[in-house]
Amino acid sequence: MSDCIFCKIAKGEIPSKKLYEDDEVIAFHDIRPIAPVHFLLMPRLHVESLNECSEVHAALLAKMLLLGSRLAKEQGLGTGFRTMINTGTGGGQEVFHLHFHIFGGSAALPKT
């Protein structure tokens, strides 16, 4: 998607503070963090949201979940972290390129 901001980040056309990348996924720090550590993990593939995913994306989604846990630990979130996937306008999604928020590091995160 040529006008997608996260596709541009994936291609390096917009700068970001990357903490991980390979041929399928990229992780980078959120520009407006809501916790001391807050990064986004997304596929290079442009998929709008979890609602547009199907069985063909199952391996990619599993990889992202497992990688998120590894990266969270590497970022110092050894006691745990929160994963958030905003889906669609009803889910508060603002950027329509699938991404996982991973954050933590606060003394106490709100319960919801």
Alpha helices in the chain (DSSP H): 5-11, 58-74
Q: Which of 16, 27, 68, 97 binds Zn ion (CB under 5 A)?
A: 97
In single-letter form, the type of residue at position 7 comes to C
Among 93, 98, 102, 104, binds ligand 5GP (CB under 6 A): 93
Written as six digits, the tokens of 7 are 């596709």
CB of 93 to ligand 5GP, least distance (A): 4
By CB under 6 A, residue 86 contacts ligand 5GP:
yes
Buried b / exposed e across 50-74, counting CB within 10 Å, b at 16+?
beebeeebeebbeebeebbeebbee
* Cβ(45)–Cβ(60) below 8 Å: yes
Query: Annotated catalytic, 99?
Result: yes
Rule CB under 5 A: say whether 14 interacts with Zn ion.
no
The reply on whether position 35 binds ligand 5GP by CB under 6 A is no
Residues noted as catalytic: 99
Contact residues toward Zn ion (CB under 5 A) are 1, 4, 6-7, 46, 97
